[in-house]
Structures are given as structure tokens and as C-alpha cells.
């Protein structure tokens, strides 16, 4: 049990130890460590899995993407298998996005994909979005000035979600889910992508 907890916490603590961090990151890291300690056995086992395919296969709840338009609340988190329509022209892309839903239209939806940030910046983004929105309704205009938003915002097509299923992330599990290394980048390594993202927001 102790080994599982340490393995999970190391995903973010290693990133934090590598340099000087501010209070927001440290607070998120402490929250993450405390949350892992309090997980029950079944949930702890589920969140110890770091492979996207396994995570998708063993998810207890899978929903039709139509819920993103009909029932989902803006600000909710979802993950899914995805194949971009114009992937040949993209420098790189994530085949297993973990997004915060911030808008939708007839054929597409808009989300913040946390995978485009290194773990410590995922913590900062979630903290700042939460602080900015509070209990209000999220939209791009409200969060556009948060520096970490720019590299994470992506528009996705409903008809390019593979297997036509999405996994909702429970509200109480969001702050753990964003740190799980579920990203499945194609055409570039995550280190390069995270460096590009950091360059974009300074």
C-alpha cells in the first residue's frame, strides 16, 4: 500500500523537486499527497494505473459523447480516445485527451487538455481556473488571461472520438486525474511538447 502511494505521489513530487516553485504548486502537491493517503482500496488501485489503454478499458462508467452537449456541466473533466481529423498536418497531438469542458457547438467542443502541461503547471492551471471561476460558469473569455490556458486549449470533433465513448471524471477525483501520466502523444515526445507549452506562456 505504501509503495502504491509513493509511486503515485512521485509523479508530481519529482517535478516539484527539480526547481523553485511557488506556493500554488506546493499547495497542490500537499493536497495530492493527502488525497492519495485517504483513498479507499478500490479507488487507490484504479488510480495506480498509468496506462491509458488500461485506464479506458477498466473505467466503470463510459458515456456517449452526446452528454457533452446535453447533460455535462461546463468545467467537468472527461477523457477519451481521439484521432484528429487533420493529424497529418499537426506537429503533434494527444490520442487520449484529458479535458476540462469549456464550450460546445453542433459538431465540436472546446476543452483545456491538461496533458499539454508538465505536472507542476497542471496544478497551477487547475488552481487558477478554480480561483477565477469559483462557483460560476466557465467560458473561454473568463479564463483567457491565465497564462497556462493558451497551450492547453483545443477544439475536438464529436465524430472523431474513437469507440464513441467518453469517461467522466468525478469531481472529487479531478485533482488526482490531472496528474496521471495518461497522455498518448504522437509525432513528438512529451518533454518537447511540455517545453513548447512553457515557451508559449513564458
What lies within 8 Å, CB to CB, of 84 at 6+ separation is 90, 93, 157, 160
Report which DSSP code applies to 89. Answer: G
Q: Is the model more confident about 91 or about 202?
A: 91
pLDDT of residue 80: 96
Q: What is the pLDDT of residues 113-134, one digit of tens each?
A: 999 998 878 888 988 898 888 7
Classify strands 185-186 and 108-113 as parallel, antiparallel or unpaired.
unpaired
The set of cell numbers assigned to 108 is 465540436
Count each helix (H run) and each strand (E run) in the chain, helices first: 9, 7
CA distances from 200 to 57, 60, 97, 151, 196 (A): 34, 36, 20, 7, 6
Average pLDDT, the chain: 81
Q: Categorize the per-residue pLDDT at 1 as very low, low, confident or very high, splitting at 50, 70 and 90.
A: very low
Identify each DSSP E strand in 39-179 by its residue range: 77-79, 93-94, 98-104, 108-113, 153-157, 167-169
pLDDT of residue 95: 97
What lies within 8 Å, CB to CB, of 147 at 6+ separation is 201, 202
Q: For residues 63 and 5, give the distance between their C-alpha atoms in angstroms, rounded to a whole number.
A: 29
Q: What is the pLDDT of residues 157-190, one digit of tens each?
A: 999 999 999 999 988 778 778 878 789 999 999 9
Count: domains in the chain: 1
Classify strands 185-186 and 77-79 as parallel, antiparallel or unpaired.
unpaired
CA-based R_g, the chain, Å: 16
pTM over 0.85: no
Q: What is the pLDDT of residues 13-63, one digit of tens each?
A: 554 454 444 555 555 555 555 555 555 555 555 555 457 887 788 788 999
Q: Give residue 84's domain range.
A: 2-201
pLDDT of residue 46: 52
Residues 93-106: what's their mean pLDDT? 96
Amino acid at each position: 500500500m505504501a509503495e502504491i502511494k509513493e509511486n503515485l505521489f512521485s509523479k508530481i513530487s519529482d517535478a516539484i523537486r527539480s526547481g523553485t516553485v511557488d506556493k500554488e504548486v506546493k499547495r497542490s502537491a500537499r493536497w495530492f499527497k493527502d488525497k492519495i493517503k485517504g483513498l479507499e482500496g478500490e479507488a487507490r488501485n484504479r488510480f495506480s494505473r498509468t496506462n491509458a489503454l488500461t485506464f479506458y478499458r477498466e473505467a466503470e462508467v463510459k458515456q456517449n459523447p452526446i452528454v457533452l452537449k446535453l447533460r455535462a456541466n461546463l468545467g467537468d473533466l472527461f477523457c477519451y480516445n481521439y484521432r484528429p481529423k487533420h493529424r497529418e498536418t499537426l506537429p503533434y497531438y494527444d490520442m487520449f485527451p484529458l479535458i476540462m469542458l469549456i464550450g460546445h457547438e453542433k459538431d465540436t467542443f472546446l476543452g483545456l487538455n491538461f496533458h499539454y502541461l508538465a505536472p507542476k503547471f497542471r496544478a497551477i492551471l487547475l488552481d487558477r481556473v478554480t480561483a477565477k471561476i469559483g462557483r460560476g460558469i466557465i467560458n473561454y473569455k473568463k479564463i483567457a488571461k491565465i497564462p497556462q490556458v493558451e497551450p492547453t486549449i483545443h477544439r475536438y470533433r464529436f465524430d472523431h472520438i474513437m469507440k464513441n465513448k467518453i469517461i467522466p471524471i468525478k469531481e472529487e477525483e479531478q485533482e488526482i486525474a490531472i496528474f496521471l501520466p495518461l497522455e498518448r502523444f504522437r509525432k513528438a515526445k512529451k518533454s518537447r511538447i511540455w517545453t513548447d507549452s512553457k515557451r508559449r506562456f513564458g
